[in-house]
Amino acid sequence: MPRVAGRKRRSEPEEVNEDDSPAPETQRRRVNHGSDDEDFGGAGAGPATQGDGVEEMAKKLVRLALACELQRKPLRRGDISEKVLGARGRQFKSVFAQAQAQLQEVFGMQLVELPAKEKVTLQQRRAAQRSQSQSKGTTAWTLTSTLPFEFRDPDIILPPAAPTTTEESKYIGIYTMLVALIMLNGGSLPDANMERNLKKLGLDDNTPLSDYDKTEKLTKRLEKDGYIVRVKESTGTGEDDIFWTVGPRGKVEVGEEGVRGLVSTVFGHPEEEAGMELDAKVMRSLGVNERTDDAAPVAQQAGRSRKASKRKARPQEDDEDEEDDDKDEDEDD
């Protein structure tokens, strides 16, 4: 019995020593980690303030945007809510604005809205009319460069190195040419014309891309990346009309300026007279002049409306001035 009692007395100090001795070391480690976190933005130094939270989420949004752009994927509002904002959905505007500032200052890029796919078939237009009453906020973005044009030269900014610079150069050249062909045809190119153009380019069956050696495989990737869209419309006779339009990414990355640049590079220079005539023809093919002509009467009508409203406002102001003068005379009397 005395031996058992002695063992109990010796075990009590050992338990106390095990509990008490590591405490100061643990506290020192926590203090050191806290100072490190403060040096790297305070991510783990306790509850972050509202400003620190916005800054950290903006950095996450920048990383997400760059990752999506590398894969040619649109940055969607749902991805931002899920992977960046979480439960702080109401801070979207402030986080987005700060991410835009970081992209412009550090990377020379900015997020721009991706246009929606065109509603070209009758069924698509009817569905669009039914959904007009619903709110249409921006749901997808992509990155574009904000650098001046003189710094966007391919000799300065090379194509991405994934998978290789050569492969990316080929891919960029192919989708730029196909987007230009569709836009110069009024924004819609029948499938038969597309096949003829691909044959002229030597792309009717095989392609120079190692990972997309077949044309069908390449066009599916172009559709997936959003450069072109294959549209099938029923004619009611058992056959379908198939044609191609420009996709959202094709409109942003290439667009009218890209088409004009491609044509002028291949066929002539804008500063020469022949080049200027060619550019005017390209503008007509793109429908730029028609949109300008349609916008002119609207602008004139808006100007006339503003002038009429000013004329109506002047007599009213004169009447008010006369009333004020009468009041002043009455007060003087």
Band of the pLDDT at 234, cuts 50, 70, 90? confident
Local confidence band at 301 (pLDDT 50, 70, 90 cut-offs): low
Please check the confidence at residue 116 and state whether its pLDDT lies above 50.
yes
Given a cut of 60, whether residue 157 has pLDDT beyond it is: yes
Rounded to the nearest angstrom, the gap between the alpha carbon of residue 86 and the centroid of all alpha carbons in its chain is 21
Mean pLDDT of 220-232: 95
Please report the domains of the chain, with CATH numbers, ordered by start residue: 50-118+141-149 (1.10.10.1200)
Please give the Cα distance from 209 to 163 (Å, whole number): 11
CA distance linking residue 170 with residue 218, whole number of Å: 12
Q: What is the pTM of this model?
A: 0.69
Whether the Cβ atoms of residue 100 and residue 146 lie closer than 8 Å to each other: no
